[in-house]
Structure 1
Amino acid sequence: MTQGTYDDFFDALGLRESSDNYQAVNSAGFLGRYQLGEPALIDVGIYTDDGNFEDAQDADPETPDTDDPAEGEQAASDDPTRG
């Protein structure tokens, strides 16, 4: 097994989880390139306990802003559940 960088790991993870599709939403409701679930999204402040997404630019607070790859990248790198 070769050793890669932190970025290599996330590139491989994104490819495996969603084929690098930032707009992916699976049948269980996991979102984005890394298929993050509700608890992880709440922990990083993207999703609220009342069922809304924290995005002042988003016209619909009940829908994730999946057009912003940077938001998903930040959520994955900030996710405290990753341990």
Structure 2
Amino acid sequence: MLAPLPFRRKPKSYLIPFIVLELEIGWNSASGENLFQPPRRPGLGTVGKPIRLLANHFQVQIPKIDVYHYDVDIKPEKRPRRVNR
């Protein structure tokens, strides 16, 4: 005999306002100052050589709700070589 399926409550729908902020990112070549300061990393590790690294990230504040993340991988079907030309 199969066990009954667990009760799943229907997720509440929330309206999250979509806000686009214009960020001035990069270097001010006139003064040589960095215009964007990414979040600081905790001081972990003591071995290695420091390097300057720019990363594509920004801080996000998400309300305390269930957030679903999906990864989608789309690959074309295999076709004969003569079709792809």
Q: What TM-score, normalized by structure 1, do the two folds share?
A: 0.28
Q: TM-score, normalised by structure 2?
A: 0.27
Query: Larger % of helix: which?
Result: 1
Give 1 or 2 for the bigger CA radius of gyration.
Answer: 2
Name the structure, 1 or 2, with higher relative contact order (CA <8 Å, separation 6+): 1
